[in-house]
Amino acid sequence: MEGTQRLSARGQNILLACLQCFYWSSSALYFGYLVMYLTEKGYSEFYCGLAQTVIAILIMVAQPLVGYITDTFIPYKKFILGGMGLAILTTYLLPATWAVFPVALLCMLLQALTVQTASPVIDSWTIALRRKCPGISFGLTRSCGSVGFAVSSLIIGSIIAKLGVDVIFPGHILMLVLMLAVAVFLPNIPCKNRNARPEEPQPEASKRLSTLQAAKVLFTNRAYVIFLCSTLFMNLTCRSYGTFAALIVADLGGDAAVLGIAMFCAAFFEFPAMIVTTRLLTHRGWQVEYLYLLSVSLMFVRGFLQIFITQFWQYILLQALQGISYGMLLALVVEYIAKLIPEQINSTAMSVYMATIAGLGSIFGCFLGGWIMEQFQLSVYYWVMALSALLGAVIFLPNVLAVRRERLRDSQN
Who contacts 86 (Cβ-Cβ below 8 Å, separation ≥6)? 114
Tell me the torsion sign for CA atoms 46, 47, 49, 53.
positive
| pLDDT confidence of residue 369 | 83
- Crossing angle for the helix pair 138-163 and 312-340, to the nearest 10 degrees: 150
The pLDDT tens digits for 55-70 are 878 888 898 899 999 9
Tell which wins on pLDDT, 342 or 175: 175
Q: What is the pLDDT of residue 203?
A: 47
CA 166 from centre of chain:
24
The three state secondary structure string of 58-85 is HHHHHHHHHHHHHHHCCCHHHHHHHHHH
Distance CA(292)–CA(298), nearest Å, equals 10
**Residue 243 above 80 pLDDT?**
no
Give the Cα separation of 234 and 307 in Å (integer): 17
Give pLDDT, residue 199.
46
pLDDT of residue 202: 45
Are 114 and 90 in contact by the 8 Å Cβ rule? The answer is: yes
Q: What is the pLDDT of residues 1-31, one digit of tens each?
A: 444 446 788 999 999 999 999 999 999 899 9
Chain mean position to CA 170: 23
What mean pLDDT is predicted for residues 300-329? 92
Closest CA to 124 of 74, 184, 177: 74
Backbone angles phi, psi at 284, to 5 degrees: -105, -15
Q: 205: pLDDT confidence band, cut at 50, 70 and 90?
A: very low
Please give the CATH architecture assigned to the domain spanning 10-186+213-412: Up-down Bundle (1.20)
The amino acid at residue 411 is S
Whether the pLDDT of residue 148 is over 60: the answer is yes
* φ, ψ for residue 320, nearest 5 deg: -65, -40
DSSP-derived secondary structure letter, 185: T
**How far is it, in rounded angstroms, from Cα 230 to Cα 52?**
21
Q: Which region, left, alpha or beta, applies to residue 205 given φ > 0 means left and ψ of -120 to 50 means alpha?
A: beta
Per-residue confidence (pLDDT) for residue 4, from 0 to 100? 45
CB 20 within 8 A of CB 122: yes
pLDDT of residue 6: 66
Domain-by-domain residue ranges, the chain?
Answer: 10-186+213-412
Tens digits of residue pLDDT in 245-255: 888 888 888 87
Amino acid symbol at 140: L
Closest CA to 40 of 170, 160, 172: 160
CA distance 59 to 353: 11
pLDDT in tens, 31-56: 988 988 999 999 987 888 788 778 87
pLDDT of amino acid 105: 96
Residue 197 has pLDDT above 50, yes or no: no
Supply φ then ψ for residue 341, to 5 degrees.
Answer: -115, 140
- Is pLDDT of 394 > 50? yes
